[in-house]
Structure 1
Amino acid sequence: MRPLASSRLTALAISAVITLGMAGPAVADESRPSRAATDSAHAPLPDATALLAQTEALGNMGAVTAPVTELLTAVLKADDGQVPAADAEALKAKIKAAVDAAKGTVPAPLPETPAVEAPAVAAPVAPLATGAKAAAPADIVTDALATVEKAVAGLLAAVTSGEATGVVTQVTATLTSLVNLAVATVLGSGLPAADLPGLPTLPTLPVELPVEPPVELPVDPPVQLPVGAKAAAPQLPLPVR
């Protein structure tokens, strides 16, 4: 009886293995995603490039702001606003690296397009003065980074001079440069417009720079002589004897 039972068990085991072996590929095919689903999973998001550039712009602004505010905090907590030279040099290197990295990601300004003459209208429009141009977004961000560099240089000089004179002025200038960078990044990096209720409407770039109108000098009218009158001849000086 035992050999017969063992033979039946063996036969059942072999049948189960064969059944699972045949069903395995079918199950695997059902669980494997289709090629269309795989391609759609790897497809980029719409407008991902523009959104990534905006995200990087905010990241670069934060990367510059962090070491500068670290310097400002150290200065404001130090006695007489004086920072040890070693600490100042370390923060200077961090700020320089952050600013250089931000400069490398600022998009190049668009090439200037030739001016198109507008058709004649009833009311004449005063043209821009020679040399005037619109402020490009990339120029705004680059200029803001330059103001941060300049302000930090002045602050580092003041906080390592050994005197408190001028430290507060340089701290204020550095804070202002960070505000300039924040606003320039918001306006010059194509970020979405703020929609928080209560905020004022921000301008858009490019902005036409103001141009001083030319000053017209007064012109004296010509003197009208009576009819038949002759202009008096100029009096020559008499020779000295």
Structure 2
Amino acid sequence: MRVQPTRRIATSALCAALVLGAAGTALANAPDSEGGVARTVSRAPVPKADALLRQSEALGDLGTVLAPATNLLNAVLKADNGQLSKEEAKKLGDATKGAIAQAKDAAPAQPPATPPSASATSPVQLPADLRDDQLDALGKAVDVLLGAATSGKADQVGPAADKVVTALVNVSAATLLGSGMRAENLPGLPAS
């Protein structure tokens, strides 16, 4: 009986895999000169870790405000004639106002002396309370939207929703500028 070449190749490949697999594992677990397991560990700190952590936390805080506010906006805009029941409006409004209060109570990030920009030749001083002012404006815009969404007048909902969207954008911008984020670098954006 003649042995097919496919079987020879498959048998050789299986044997090679078993031998190399065992050898690879043994080499990976070889002890280093100190008697332990060989590891490659960098003990150098991450450059600018504090600033990056502050920026990351600011973005996380921003999410706590955006989610309930957009839930309120979505509910109003999807409702018939933009009208919500008093109970639903209260529930969504309380969630949004609670998030705004939580964001204001959170420890503010240390704002840089000047906002990050592409050109360091024109420094602009940021107001220290820029973020809190924008959170207050968002709270007022939410109140106007809640009033419009329970008034029975559909024509008031559009302008009120527009004010909430504008306030959300302003809160986002104030948070980003106040936490030392780098200047935008998206292609196509106008130069600042």
Q: Paired residue for 1:30, among 7, 32, 35?
A: 35
Q: Give the corresponding residue for 2:55.
A: 54
Structure with the bigger RCO (C-alpha within 8 Å, sep 6+) is 2
Superposed CA offset, 1:111-136 (max 9, x none): xxxxxxxxxxxxxxxxxxxxxxx542
Q: Give the corresponding residue for 1:91.
A: 92
Q: Paired residue for 2:179, among 178, 186, 189?
A: 189
Correspondence list, 1:168-207, <5 A? 168-202=158-192
Q: Give the corresponding residue for 2:101.
A: 100
Which stretches of structure 1, 4 residues or more, deviate above 4 A after TM superposition? none
Contact 1:106 1:142 in 2 (8 A): no
Correspondence list, 1:84-163, <5 A? 84-103=85-104, 104-107=106-109, 134-136=125-127, 138-163=128-153
Give the partner amino acid of 1:152.
V
Contact 1:148 1:178 in 2 (8 A): yes
Give the partner amino acid of 1:169.
P
Question: Which one has the bigger helix percentage?
Answer: 2
Report the 3-state secondary structure (helix = DSSP H, G, I; strand = E; otherwise coil) of the residue aligned with 1:151: helix
Contact 2:110 2:178 in 1 (8 A): no
TM-score, normalization by structure 1: 0.54
Contact 2:61 2:103 in 1 (8 A): yes
Coordinate RMSD, CA, aligned: 2.8
The Cα of 1:170 is off from its aligned counterpart by: 0.6
Report the 3-state secondary structure (helix = DSSP H, G, I; strand = E; otherwise coil) of the residue aligned with 2:75: helix
Q: Give the corresponding residue for 1:68.
A: 69
TM-score, normalization by structure 2: 0.67
Contact 1:109 1:139 in 2 (8 A): no
Report the 3-state secondary structure (helix = DSSP H, G, I; strand = E; otherwise coil) of the residue aligned with 2:129: helix
Report the number of matched residues: 150
The answer to whether residue 157 in structure 2 is matched with residue 167 in structure 1 is: yes
The answer to whether residue 71 in structure 2 is matched with residue 81 in structure 1 is: no
Larger Rg: 1
Contact 1:158 1:166 in 2 (8 A): yes
Superposed CA offset, 1:185-216 (max 9, x none): 222220011112221233xxxxxxxxxxxxxx
Q: How many Å separate the matches in 2 of 1:148 and 1:98?
A: 11
Deviates more, 1:170-179 or 1:193-202: 193-202
Q: Relative to 1, partners in 2 of residues 1:62 and 1:162: Cα closer, same or farther, differing over 3 Å?
A: same
Q: How many Å separate the matches in 2 of 1:144 and 1:106?
A: 13
